[in-house]
Amino acid sequence: MGAEEKSGYLSPPVSGGCARVGPPKETCRSESPAQENRRTGFFAGGDGAENMNIVFFQAAFFLYFIGAGVSLAHLVTLRPWLSRIGRGFLAGGMALHSLAILWRIFESGRTPLTNLHEALSFFAWATIGIYFLLHFKFRLEVLGAFVSPVAVVLMVLASLFPKEIVPVEPVLNSFWLPVHATLAIIGNAMFALAFAAGVMYLLQERQIKSKKIG
């Protein structure tokens, strides 16, 4: 037994691998902080076509963020052209977000609703989709200023969770799982829209009472 083994220390390998350097009680990190951030951070994902869903996701977030900013500017200035531009960015973001979801379905061979990243991403997509349905029916120009920040927050939360596509547990491999998850998330999206609309009407009522109609 060598001196290194007696002292409880091991020399690191010459190349690759994960060696323990230090007292026996210390644990070895399987990945560096940079690698972990790459796996779980907002810009997580590797190279190649298998990660195009992450690229589309990031592009959608970028357009949602700009759309939210422009929509909030419309709320402050009440300039109609800002509302149209904001909706354009949100529509572009939703198109890219739809591609991200479809690409993930193609990659995984299942409905992408089995982890927090996928569920929150779909939540944001459904929120924007229902907003457009309401806009086309009721023409609520300022609603986008209240809905788009909700979608941005959901996208940020989704980006904080691991984005790897993992196999579904056998117990969850059921026809009813995507049906249940889809309906539940759409219901939550409708609740989010109701919350945003409630805030909008409360602010409008306050403006009316203060004789500052906008």
pLDDT in tens, 78-124: 899 999 999 999 999 999 999 999 999 999 888 899 899 999 999 99
What pTM was estimated for this model as a whole?
0.74
Tokens of 168: 């579904």
Domain residue limits at 59: 48-162+169-209
Max distance between CA atoms of the chain, in angstroms, equals: 88
Residues in contact with 120: Cβ distance below 8 Å, sequence separation at least 6, in sequence order: 154, 155, 157, 158, 161
How many domains would you assign to the chain?
1
Residue 174 lies in a domain: yes
With respect to residue 71, please indicate whether it lies within any of the assigned structural domains. yes
Q: Kindly tell me if the per-residue pLDDT of 25 is higher than 70.
A: no
Q: Does some domain include residue 30? A: no
Q: Is residue 121 part of a domain?
A: yes
Does residue 43 form part of some domain? no
Q: Which of 103, 109, 144 is nearest to 127 (CA)?
A: 144
Please check the confidence at residue 205 and state whether its pLDDT lies above 90.
no
The residues near 82 (Cβ < 8 Å, ≥ 6 apart) are 70, 71, 73, 74
Residue 32 lies in a domain: no
- Counting runs of H as helices and runs of E as strands, what totals does the chain give? 7, 0
In this predicted structure, the answer to whether residue 141 has a pLDDT above a threshold of 50 is yes
DSSP state of 23: S
Q: Does 87 map to a domain?
A: yes
| Secondary structure (3-state) at 148 | helix
Whose tokens are 């907002």? That residue is: 42
